[in-house]
């Protein structure tokens, strides 16, 4: 902590650095965040990145709130993304502070991963239910959310156009066990107040969902704002789809990041996220005869027995298998030793299938 802050807390009344503290809380700083910047620097939060510049929200020592367009060098410690906390000096980002959570996807062009948003507490899995529920997509979003290090929350949108909401909620519960579910409509306002209640001060949330899922509409419903939303044409090509990742400070106290819709293949899969999302399969697997059971025709497999008895749906097991193989593929692109391990697994699998 710098000296001026010490002096401030020893003094009386609300001084400038107290104001800075209050301001940082409205930017989503939590009690557990230790966000220290060097003497002479300011602490800010990235709202939006465009090219080699980022809009950063910060607060002058005198308590004035500022949004500056700041330049960052390509050799900065990390490439800033929306939600990052940064140290500023003279309209330059000098450092990106360590992230406590981050939403990632495989980089479309490179072998690396791309960070979509940083320092999150909640990942809203925004899934429309006006044309039924896309369970496959929901499960993948959940995996990605758990992997980010933040907590997932399902937001079922367009409830005004849904036929059987209780049944859809039931299906959702089975797909993402243990995750809280909200049903909303940006049209009728259903569920918006509850969502506001969850997005209070100290919470940073990001909306994860397919294009056209209703993310920007949710933001507008929460804020009474009029950010342009996608108008979906019959061909499915909507105008005004969100194209940038941007941070908004909500009147209910929280911070919300709106990001462009993702496609199925954009999704990142990691071990932990799969374990959390498919905890029911993990639980069943403890009862398989062999500890390394592949749940694919193995003897004494409790997972497949559960499918046979109707306890677990075949669809869910199939999606789990698909995600497993993609995970292996993504890992192998990043790490040559994983590639070797994967080949070993493939060989084992083909042996198993020959046995069958
Ligand atoms: N009936 C109904 N339509 C909705 C609701 N929410 C959004 N829509 C419509 O769905 C379309 C897509 O909404 P957006 O909010 O732009 O979707 P988005 O998820 O932000 O899409 P991208 O920015 O492309 O990722 C628009 O035509 C909205 O009017 C809702 O609650 N009910
Ligand atoms: Mg949008
Ligand atoms: Zn098994």
Rounded to the nearest angstrom, the distance between the alpha carbon of 209 and the centre of ligand 1 is 11
What span, in angstroms and rounded, lies between the C-alpha atoms of 119 and 137? 24
What spacing in Å lies between the alpha carbon of 134 and ligand 3's midpoint? 26
Residue with CA closest to ligand 1 atom 29: 231
Residue 228 CB–ligand 1 contact under 6 Å:
no
Choose the residue to mutate in 213, 229, 246 for probing ligand 1, maximizing ligand atoms within 8 Å of C-beta: 229
Q: Report the residue among 124, 131, 185, 186 best suited for mutation to probe ligand 1: largest number of ligand atoms under 8 A from its CB.
A: 186
Nearest CA to ligand 1 atom 9: 214
Q: How far is the CA of 78 from the centre of ligand 2 (A)?
A: 26
Cβ-based neighbours of 164, under 8 Å, separated by 6 or more: none
Note the pLDDT of residue 230.
66
**C-beta 187 within 6 A of ligand 1:** yes
Is 189 close to ligand 1, i.e. is its CB under 6 Å away? no
C-alpha 160/C-alpha 16 separation (Å) is 47
Residue nearest to atom 8 of ligand 1 (CA): 214
pTM above 0.85, yes or no: no
Ligand 1 atom with least separation from CA of 261: 25
Would you say the CB of residue 9 lies under 6 angstroms from ligand 1?
no
Q: Which residues surround ligand 2, an ion (CB under 5 A)?
A: 215-216, 242
* Strand, coil or helix: 138: helix
Q: What ligand is nearest to the CA atom of residue 283?
A: 3
**159: which DSSP letter?**
G
Who contacts 280 (Cβ-Cβ below 8 Å, separation ≥6)?
177, 312, 316
- Quick one: pLDDT at residue 102? 93
Phi, then psi, of 97 in degrees rounded to 5: -75, 155
Task: For a ligand 1 pocket test, name from 212, 248, 256 the mutation site with the most ligand atoms within 8 angstroms of its C-beta.
Answer: 212
Ligand 3 centroid to residue 320 C-alpha, Å: 13
Q: What are phi and psi of 3, to 5 degrees?
A: -65, -40
What is the rounded distance in angstroms from the CA atom of residue 117 to the CA atom of residue 268?
14
CB 175 within 8 A of CB 137: no
Per-residue pLDDT of the chain (356 residues; tens, 9 = 90+): 344 444 444 444 566 678 888 899 999 998 777 788 888 999 999 999 998 999 999 998 888 899 999 999 999 999 999 999 999 999 999 999 999 999 988 776 656 788 999 999 999 999 999 999 999 899 999 999 998 999 999 999 999 999 999 999 999 999 998 999 999 999 999 999 999 999 999 999 999 999 999 999 999 999 988 887 766 555 555 557 788 899 999 999 999 999 998 887 677 677 788 889 999 999 999 999 999 999 999 999 999 999 999 999 999 999 999 888 887 777 766 655 655 555 565 555 544 444 44
Q: Which ligand lies nearest to the CA atom of residue 305 in the structure?
A: 3
Torsion sign, CA atoms 24, 115, 267, 311: negative
pLDDT of amino acid 356: 40
Domains of the chain: 3-96 (2.40.50.140), 102-266 (3.40.50.300), 278-355 (1.10.40.50)
Name the DSSP letter for residue 231.
B
Q: Is 213 in the pocket of ligand 1 (CB under 6 A)?
A: yes
Q: How far, CA to CA in Å, does 315 sit from each of 139, 294, 304, 320? A: 11, 17, 12, 9
């Amino acid at each position: 902590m710098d000296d001026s802050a010490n002096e401030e807390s020893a003094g009386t009344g609300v001084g400038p650095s107290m104001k800075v503290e209050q301001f940082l809380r409205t930017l989503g700083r939590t009690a557990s965040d230790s966000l220290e910047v060097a003497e002479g620097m300011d602490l800010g939060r990235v709202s939006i990145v465009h090219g080699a510049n980022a809009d950063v929200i910060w607060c002058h020592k005198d308590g004035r709130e500022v949004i500056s367009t700041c330049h960052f060098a390509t050799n900065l410690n990390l490439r800033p993304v929306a939600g990052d906390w940064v140290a500023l000096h003279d309209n330059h980002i000098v450092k990106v502070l360590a992230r406590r959570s981050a939403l990632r996807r495989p980089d479309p062009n490179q072998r690396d991963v791309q960070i979509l948003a940083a320092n999150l507490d909640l990942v809203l899995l925004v899934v429309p239910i006006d044309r039924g529920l896309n369970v496959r997509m929901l499960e993948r979003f959940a995996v990605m959310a758990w992997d980010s290090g933040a907590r997932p929350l399902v937001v079922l949108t367009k409830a005004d156009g849904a036929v059987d909401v209780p049944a859809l909620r039931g299906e959702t519960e089975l797909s993402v066990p243990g995750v809280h579910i909200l049903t909303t409509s940006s049209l009728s306002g259903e569920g918006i107040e509850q969502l506001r209640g969850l997005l209070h001060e100290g919470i940073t949330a990001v909306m994860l969902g397919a294009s056209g899922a209703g993310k920007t509409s949710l933001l507008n419903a929460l804020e009474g704002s009029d950010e342009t939303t996608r108008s979906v044409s019959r061909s499915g090509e909507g105008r005004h789809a969100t194209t940038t990742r941007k941070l908004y400070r909500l009147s209910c106290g929280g911070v919300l990041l709106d990001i462009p819709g993702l496609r199925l293949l954009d999704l990142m899969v990691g071990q932990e996220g799969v374990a959390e999302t498919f905890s029911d399969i993990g639980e069943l697997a403890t009862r398989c005869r062999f500890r390394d059971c592949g749940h694919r025709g193995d003897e004494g497999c409790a997972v497949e027995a559960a499918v046979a008895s109707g306890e677990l749906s075949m669809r869910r097991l199939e999606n789990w298998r698909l995600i497993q193989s993609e995970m292996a593929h993504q890992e192998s692109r990043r790490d040559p030793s994983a590639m070797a391990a994967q080949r070993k697994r493939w060989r084992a699998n083909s042996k198993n299938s020959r046995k069958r």
